Amino acid sequence: MSENDLDPARIKRARDAFHSVPFARLLCLELGEVGLGEVSIHLSVRDELKQNQGVVHGGAIASLIDTAAAFAVLTKIDLNERVTTTDLTIHYLRPITAGHLTATARIVRAGRRLFVLSVEVTNAGVLVATAVTSYLKVA
């Protein structure tokens, strides 16, 4: 994955858009690598993201996955186009109590209106969740 695969306008769009998302700031998400149809986003585990049993809440992981996927799609659409999530299926593979999560989203298929993506979440190189999601162009 490399920013060299993208034109500078798309890289700037992705970075500017990421920094303008209030929810990403609330979760303290960090934008990682940006490539054509592929993006990684990081999340450090902290107590505020855990549920009452001491594991990271599934909603925090879902938000990490959805955000990574959205930005992977953003690298493939025109500057005036918008998309929305149509579905998200997550398989939580291991409980997470500490660490630094990385969600890597890759476009599996990019149609005229529909995008299908695969997302893997790792913690110190260990696979902790997988997801498949779809996005639809809305304008």
Q: Tell me how far apart the alpha carbons of residues 23 and 56 are, in angstroms, rounded to a whole number.
A: 17
* Residue-number span of the structural domain to which 112 is assigned: 3-137
Q: What is the DSSP letter of 122?
A: E
What domain count does the chain have? 1
Cβ(41)–Cβ(33) below 8 Å: no
Query: Where do we find the tokens 């993506």?
Result: 117
User: Which CATH number fits the domain that encloses residue 103?
Assistant: 3.10.129.10
Inter-residue contact 74 to 127 (CB < 8 Å):
no
* Residue 5 confidence (pLDDT): 63
Cβ contacts of 23 within 8 Å, gap of 6 or more: 63, 67
Chain segment 37-92, per-residue pLDDT in tens:
999 999 999 999 999 999 999 999 999 999 999 999 999 998 889 999 999 999 99
Structure tokens, 114: 């529909």
pLDDT digits (tens, 9 = 90+) for 17-40: 999 999 999 999 999 999 999 999
